[in-house]
Each structure stands twice: as C-alpha cells, then as structure tokens.
Structure 1
C-alpha cells in the first residue's frame, strides 16, 4: 500500500477574465504552495455568458510552464477528440520539458457539444468517444517512447470520469491518477469497481492516486475512502483564492 500525502489542486477556469488576471492568479497560487494548477480544455465558457472571455488550454499550459516555478500543471481534463494522439503526446512532451518535468496529462473523452460543432469535430456518441480514447492512450504512450528527446519523466496520466465499464477500465490500464466527480457514497462504490478492473488487468490499485473536487463538507469522508488529491476551482471575472487557502491549511494539518 502506498502511503500518499494529501495534495491540493486549483482548477483556474480560463473564462470571463483577461490573461493578465489568469497569469497573476496562477503565480499567486504557485506562491501559496498549491500542488497542482489545472485549467480545462474547452473553447467557450461553461457557465455565465456563453460568449464571454475564454482562452485555449494547451498554449496556456506552455505559458504556465514558463511563468510558474514549482507547481505541477495540467488540464482537468484535455479532450481526446480535439487533437491527433501523436500530436497530443508531442505537445505534452514539449510542455513537460518547458516546465522541467511538471506536466500532468489529464485526459478524457469529451462531452461539451458546442466545442465540437463550432470547431468542426464529429460529436458522435459518448460510447464512441470513449472507444476513441481507448485507442488513443496506447498511441500516446507509444509516441512518448519514439520522441527525441523523450519526456523528462514518466508523464503522469490523469483520467477523468466515472463510467464503470469503460472509463474505470481505462483508468486501471493506463492512469496514474483517477479524477472523480462523485459524492462519498458513489465514490466508495466506484472504487470497488476500479479495484475489480485492476485485478482483471493485474495491477495494484494502490498505484492510482484518487482525485476529487474539493468540498469542505465531504473532504474528511473522501480522505477516509482514500482520496488524496483535492481540487478547488475558481474563475473570472474576479478569481477568489479564499477557499484554496483554507484547503492548504487542512492539507498541512493532515500531512503533519
């Protein structure tokens, strides 16, 4: 069994604010001691004014790789549908080098239909998108072995989603981190399913870090269930790090 410390992530949602605000907030979070800084991989806001200010995921991650110094960075999560798997592997490898080994590849199958329709991607079905993700993950892993130079480390793969037949099996086969949006009772059940998938593929489930969204009322129960990565989110126009500061204090108490 791996004894993991609590880690805290911040998802800085790149909507409804200018980039100067995003850069300043990312730097502040880095200085505060957050463990992981996430954005998301969408082309339009997910809340508020649908056509409000918004910025693209991977160019932002490259900028964060230069403008931060300590924090790990990644998307929560990158959409598999938007980029050829070999290209995504190369992009991740490049940001990994720019950041000197701080990139996490968060990835999922995609769900926001407007992104697909306005940018010319085939939306298809949820099952089909998951099948595409299953095909893409080994291609990404294979490309990392072929690139010159190779990544600076074994880039951690975070898979987001709770589908019990496909997503959790992909997690068992490929992921270093599983991100769930579940409440405690649902998380407990899905962890049992994940353990079954790990047994089927011959993997120790303790090798997968359990990640959840940070909710003050649930965090101690989530911790008891095995969650160790808790992510707070904030966005524009005025990102607020008050909750993040409180979670960092809780982290330090748990890890003492």
Structure 2
C-alpha cells in the first residue's frame, strides 16, 4: 500500500466552484446566477448532464447540459465552465469531442471536460439509450476516452485551451484506474478518511500507469470551510458548492471565497 505522504498530495491553489442544478427554474434565472457567481469571484461554474430533475417534482422544469454550456461560454468572460459530469453513454464519443472543442472555442479556452459513466436510469430509458449495468457503463466510459482523445487531436482547429479532463467517481478498481490514466482532475465525495484512502488507491493506479499522482488536481464538496480545511490538508483543492433553483441563493459564497483567499495566502 502506498504511504499517505506528500508524494500523493498535489500542490494546486485552492479554488471554489459552484454547480447550478438546471432544474425547477426558468433559464433567465440560471443565466442570472451564472453572472452573479462570476461577479462574486468564483473560479468555475458547472451544471449537470441529466434530462430530468433529480430532486423535487420529477417532471418539473429542466434544461439540457451542452446547449446551456454553449450559452454560458458566450455570456461569461473569466470563469471556467463545464458539466459535473457528462454521461458518456448519451452521445457518440467523437461527437462529444467535437461539442467540447466547439464550446471550448466559444469560451476562449475555459472549458473543463467533465466525464463519467452515468447512473440515472430514467435519463437512459426515456431518451432511448441502453442503461445496462454499472459494469457495462464503466466499460463504455473506458472505451470512449481514447476515442475522445483521438478525435480532439484530429479536429481542425484543435481545442483553444488546455481543456482539462475531469473524471468523476470513486470506484477503486475501475474508475480510479481511468482517472490515473486519463484525468487532469479527479472529482469524488466522502469524508476525510474515505478520501484519504481513495487517494492512496489512486496513487497506486498512477504508479501502474507511469503517472505522478501530484499531476492530478483533486475535487470534492464540503459542508463548511472547516471541513474543507481538513480535505485541503489531504491535497483536495477544488471545492464545489451546489445550488438549486429557482432562487439560486448564493449568499454563502462570499464566506467561501474569503476562506479560499486566506488559504492561498
């Protein structure tokens, strides 16, 4: 087992991102929340890649992920944008690469390409995709990643920015292996003990893949800056706060941004 040492702890500045759940709101309310968040000084704004609300009225208002990201790319100037995360099973991987490249250019190189295996069965069933099993969805994710990479390299023009890849999930045998092989950012949830353990597992996969685990930025959520301090000490640096519509009350953000700035010195 890899030791829990500084070797496994990346050294990235602390950043604050938000995820705006695109449910139970009019689009103008979502657009307003994006602009307010950028004005406040957040580092990144995410939506999610689902077709129906995940909470509340199951047939309530909802909007599609990538069409929205194209609009965000035009309306913002500084923040990174992305999906937390894109379900690769909904789209041909080569098409997804082209979509991402296009949004990256619209934004001037500010896209984070969030990728995951998908999990919400209704998304698949009602839109005509095969849900399969957790194992088959992870296999498809693994098969899709090289295709996305190859298509991005073949497109003219290629992406405008660094286009970091974020892979979400904490499965120790498959998902963390894919993170080690492909991701620039790893996103997972859990308490400090859980995330410390998974970080050690990730370091083992990185060793097998010939990668330095310090090259992968680590992303999670936290209930308070105090909890985030503990996770930041483990090497997590991108903290995502989640907000629901229709109000998108961002009043907690200034305290988080002060914590970020103090943490970065």
Using structure 2 for the length normalisation, give the TM-score: 0.95
User: Does 2:256 match 1:247?
Assistant: yes
Q: Distance in 2 between matches of 1:50 and 1:35?
A: 31
Q: Distance in 2 between matches of 1:3 and 1:205?
A: 11
Aligned pair partner of 1:175 in 162, 183, 188: 183
Q: Mind listing any 5+ residue stretches in structure 1 that lack a counterpart?
A: none
User: Does 2:48 match 1:40?
Assistant: yes
Please state whether the residue corresponding to 1:22 is helix, strand or coil: helix
Q: Are the aligned partners of 2:53 and 2:59 in contact in 1 as well (CA < 8 Å)?
A: yes
After TM superposition, the structure 1 stretch with the greater mean CA deviation from structure 2, 234-243 or 189-198, is 234-243
Which residue of structure 2 lines up, in the alignment, with residue 89 of structure 1?
97
Which residue of structure 2 lines up, in the alignment, with residue 219 of structure 1?
228
Alignment coverage as a number of residue pairs: 256
Which whole-Å deviations, capped at 9, do the CAs of 1:212-255 have from their partners, x for residues lacking one? Answer: 01321521110111100000010112111122222111101111
Q: Are the aligned partners of 1:15 and 1:53 in contact in 2 as well (CA < 8 Å)?
A: yes
Higher RCO by CA contacts (8 Å cutoff, separation 6 or greater)? 2
After TM superposition, the structure 1 stretch with the greater mean CA deviation from structure 2, 242-251 or 24-33, is 242-251
Which whole-Å deviations, capped at 9, do the CAs of 1:171-222 have from their partners, x for residues lacking one? Answer: 0000000001111110000000000000001000000000001321521110
Q: Are the aligned partners of 2:49 and 2:86 in contact in 1 as well (CA < 8 Å)?
A: yes
1:90 Cα offset (Å):
0.2
Please state whether the residue corresponding to 1:238 is helix, strand or coil: coil
Q: Mind listing any 5+ residue stretches in structure 2 that lack a counterpart?
A: 1-6
Aligned pair partner of 1:135 in 130, 134, 143: 143
Q: Distance in 2 between matches of 1:157 and 1:80?
A: 13
Q: Are the aligned partners of 1:89 and 1:140 in contact in 2 as well (CA < 8 Å)?
A: yes
Which residue of structure 2 lines up, in the alignment, with residue 233 of structure 1?
242
Which residue of structure 2 lines up, in the alignment, with residue 111 of structure 1?
119
Which residue of structure 1 lines up, in the alignment, with residue 4 of structure 2?
none
Q: Are the aligned partners of 1:10 and 1:244 in contact in 2 as well (CA < 8 Å)?
A: no
